[in-house]
């Protein structure tokens, strides 16, 4: 009799606890549903943002390609100036080669630059150019002869010599630019030696100059103000 009473009492307690556990389970289910819904909304928002960024990058890449292609098209058939729109580089073949331990370019470099510079300035002043084209870096390369610091100095001189051909009328009589164009060259072109970091298969081919087109990383970067240089009546090359 006593055993039966105990059993009945235990059963009654279990039946009394059921509503509590059912309510708790419903609450947890509801919270899990809300969590999953919030995660789904977050994932959709992130996916949308990623797609927006990807679309902007695709548009940027296409527009940069168009800038380079415009330069390439305007110089098609030049025979000397070579525009590579995969690496955004401009080279000059033999006209852009330096002699051993020398920073002077051959005479053919002057006319080649005279053909190239107006085209680059025109592309830079187009709507897409103003939006994306950041600068044109003049890279002077050396071979592997000599020490690192010696070659670094030589590569800087080679880059500077190209700037001399662009800005000093006495160094390049083939290039005649208006004052406004000369100012654009000062704003846009940058001399930056790179030593022998891009050595070619031969030492003769390594001693060269190339122009590297650099672009802004986003459309907001292009709104940043460019540095303003003092305008001089004439620029004089410091190299002999």
Least confident of 111-115, 166-170, 197-201: 197-201
Q: pLDDT tens, 116-135? A: 999 999 999 999 999 999 99
**CA gap 137, 214 in Å, rounded:** 7
Q: Which residues pair with 191 in a beta bridge?
A: 138
Q: What pLDDT band is residue 227 in, cutting at 50, 70 and 90?
A: low
Instruction: Please provide residue 210's backbone torsions phi and psi, each rounded to the nearest 5 degrees.
Output: -135, 155
Residue 168: exposed, middle, or buried by beta-carbon count in 10 A (0-12, 13-18, 19+)?
middle
pLDDT at 140: 95
> What pLDDT score was predicted for residue 48?
66
Nearest to 222 by CA among 63, 69, 74: 63
pTM across the whole model: 0.77
Q: How far apart are CA 25 and CA 226, in angstroms?
A: 64
Report the pLDDT averaged over residues 21-28.
71
Rounded-to-integer distance, Cα 125 and Cα 153, Å: 33
State residue 33's pLDDT score. Answer: 84
- Looking at residue 108, what is its pLDDT? 97
Q: What share of the chain is helix, strand, coil (3-state, %, to 5)?
A: 55, 10, 30
Instruction: Give percent of the chain above pLDDT 70.
Output: 82
Look at residue 38 in the predicted model and tell me its pLDDT. Answer: 81
Q: In this model, does residue 68 exceed pLDDT 80?
A: yes
Do residues 235 and 189 lie in contact, with contact meaning Cβ atoms separated by under 8 Å? no
- The DSSP 8-state label assigned to residue 222 in this structure reads G
Contact 203, 143 (CB under 8 A): yes
pLDDT of residue 76: 95
Cα 238 to the center of its chain, rounded Å: 31
Burial 85-108 (b: 16+ CB within 10 A, else e): beebbbbbeebbbbeeeebbbeeb
Per DSSP, which regions of the chain are E strands?
82-84, 89-91, 133-140, 189-191, 209-215
Where is pLDDT greater, at 66 or 44?
A: 66
pLDDT of res. 12: 53
17 band by pLDDT with thresholds 50, 70 and 90:
low
Give me the mean pLDDT over the 171-192 stretch.
Answer: 93
What torsion, rounded to 10 degrees, do the Cα atoms 18, 20, 24, 29 define? 50
Q: How far apart are CA 30 and CA 230, in angstroms?
A: 69
Task: Name which of 214, 231, 104 is nearest 157 in CA terms.
Answer: 104
């Amino acid at each position: 009799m006593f055993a039966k009473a105990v059993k009945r009492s235990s059963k009654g307690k279990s039946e009394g606890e059921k509503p509590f556990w059912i309510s708790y389970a419903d609450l947890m289910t509801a919270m899990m549903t809300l969590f999953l819904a919030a995660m789904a909304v977050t994932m959709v928002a992130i996916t949308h943002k990623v797609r927006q960024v990807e679309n902007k990058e695709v548009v940027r890449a296409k527009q940069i390609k168009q800038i380079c292609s415009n330069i390439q098209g305007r110089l098609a058939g030049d025979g000397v100036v070579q525009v590579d729109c995969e690496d955004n580089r401009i080279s000059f073949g033999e006209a852009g080669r330096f002699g051993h331990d020398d920073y002077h370019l051959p005479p053919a470099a002057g006319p080649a630059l005279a053909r190239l510079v107006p085209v680059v300035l025109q592309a830079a002043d187009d709507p897409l150019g103003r939006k994306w084209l950041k600068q044109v870096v003049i890279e002077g390369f050396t071979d592997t002869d000599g020490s690192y610091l010696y070659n670094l100095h030589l590569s800087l001189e080679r880059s500077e010599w190209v700037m001399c051909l662009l800005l000093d009328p006495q160094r390049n009589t083939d290039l005649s630019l208006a004052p406004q164009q000369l100012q654009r060259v000062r704003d846009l072109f940058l001399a930056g030696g790179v030593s022998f970091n891009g050595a070619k298969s031969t030492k003769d081919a390594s001693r060269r100059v190339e122009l590297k087109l650099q672009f802004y990383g986003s459309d907001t970067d292009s709104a940043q103000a460019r540095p303003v240089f003092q305008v001089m009546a004439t620029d004089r090359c410091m190299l002999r």
